[in-house]
Amino acid sequence: MVTRTMIVGGTGQIGSELAHELRRRFGKDSVLVLGHSRRPSEGLMDSGPYETADIRDRERLLELVVRYDIQEIYHLAAVLSGVGEKDPQFAWDININGLINVLEVARERAIKVFWPSSIAVFGNNCPHVDTPQDTVLQPTTMYGVTKVAGELLCEYYHRRYGVDVRSVRYPGIISAETLPGGGTTDYAVAIFYEAVRRNQYTCFVNKDTVLPMMYMPDCINAAIDIMAAPSDSLSTRLGYNLNGISFSTAELAELVRKRSPGFAIRYEPDFRQTIADSWPDSMDDYRATEDWGWKVEWGLDRMADDMFAKLRRRLAAGTL
């Protein structure tokens, strides 16, 4: 029998590609995409069911869950770190009240939930290289505060009400289909877009900034794999650390220049530099590997080749 899945935040960077992959694997009618303010990328609305809702409206969420007989929710709607610092109260409202609504509906209807946490749970006072799974969580951004609180909520709903909720701490996600919506790690995506469009980029963090990143196919696999894992194999309902590939901005620029000769980069760090500096350079993800077999597939060069191929195709087709 096909599982009926809802993707909340289904028009965003991760949601839109997850929707295509879940529809490819499990059938187009089995995946309901829930959008809100963002225009769905090409093919999303006509490749399966699509609805809109404000995640803060629990009644609407419940109505859709009942109407489509939803058994599984991937809840990806969030205000990211950069935008969150411009309006912290709004970030709290969307990120926390949205999550509570999903968890409440999940409790009422016995729905399995995936909710992503982030490297943003970490702050300045924990090891920044191979950051451990269990360490001090004192983030400096409202986004990070909502991710720590969100992890605790997930763990609480699991322990108290038996909600089957699963989570990972994503690093920055690099992808070529839908742009991220206002995070600190967005420069690692924008650099490829701008190289293909103009062969130059002005970067908002300095050249020595090192952060963990991950290519979209690994990000999607992580979400689908942890959801498929047997419940009793999961030793935590907080977010699992996931390490991807770590590199400095200067290394990234070099990688881009190799594929786009003459590429020029300028560095004009803004408020996001302080955020980036507070996050890990790399993470220890042994627990995800041990518990549910997590393994990163995409390395730096392969990812860069694929990004250029996809973005150049989009430029030629007039969709960039």
Q: Does 178 engage in binding with ligand AKB (CB under 6 A)?
A: no
CB 317 to ligand AKB: min, Å: 27
User: Tokens 């399995």 label which residue?
Assistant: 112
| Number of residues in contact with ligand AKB under rule CB under 6 A | 12
CB 145 to ligand AKB: min, Å: 13
- Report the alpha-carbon distance of residue 287 to residue 240 in Å, rounded: 7
User: Tokens 């924008």 label which residue?
Assistant: 190
Pick one of 41, 178, 185, 243: the residue that binds ligand AKB (CB under 6 A). Answer: 185
Closest CA to 169 of 154, 189, 180, 190: 154
Sequence-distant (≥ 6) Cβ neighbours of residue 59 within 8 angstroms: none
Q: Does 120 engage in binding with ligand AKB (CB under 6 A)?
A: yes
Q: Which is nearer to ligand AKB, 185 or 278 (CB)?
A: 185
Task: For residue 80, give both structure tokens.
Answer: 């990211």
- Integer CA distances (angstroms), 68 to 37, 93, 94, 125, 138, in order: 21, 26, 23, 45, 39
Residues labelled catalytic: 143
Q: Which stretch binds ligand AKB (CB under 6 A): 103-111, 118-126, 127-135, 158-166?
A: 118-126
Binding marks (x or -) toward ligand AKB, 141..160, rule CB under 6 A?
--x-----------------
Q: Are 33 and 15 in contact (CB under 8 A)?
A: yes
Q: Which is nearer to ligand AKB, 70 or 214 (CB)?
A: 214
CB 79 to ligand AKB: min, Å: 9
- Integer CA distances (angstroms), 228 to 41, 67, 166, 287, in order: 27, 24, 10, 16
Q: Which is nearer to ligand AKB, 61 or 307 (CB)?
A: 307
CB 32 to ligand AKB: min, Å: 24
Q: Does 119 engage in binding with ligand AKB (CB under 6 A)?
A: yes
- Report the alpha-carbon distance of residue 146 to residue 165 in Å, rounded: 17
Q: Which is nearer to ligand AKB, 122 or 292 (CB)?
A: 122
**Residue ranges binding ligand AKB (CB under 6 A):** 80-81, 118-120, 143, 170, 172, 180, 183-185
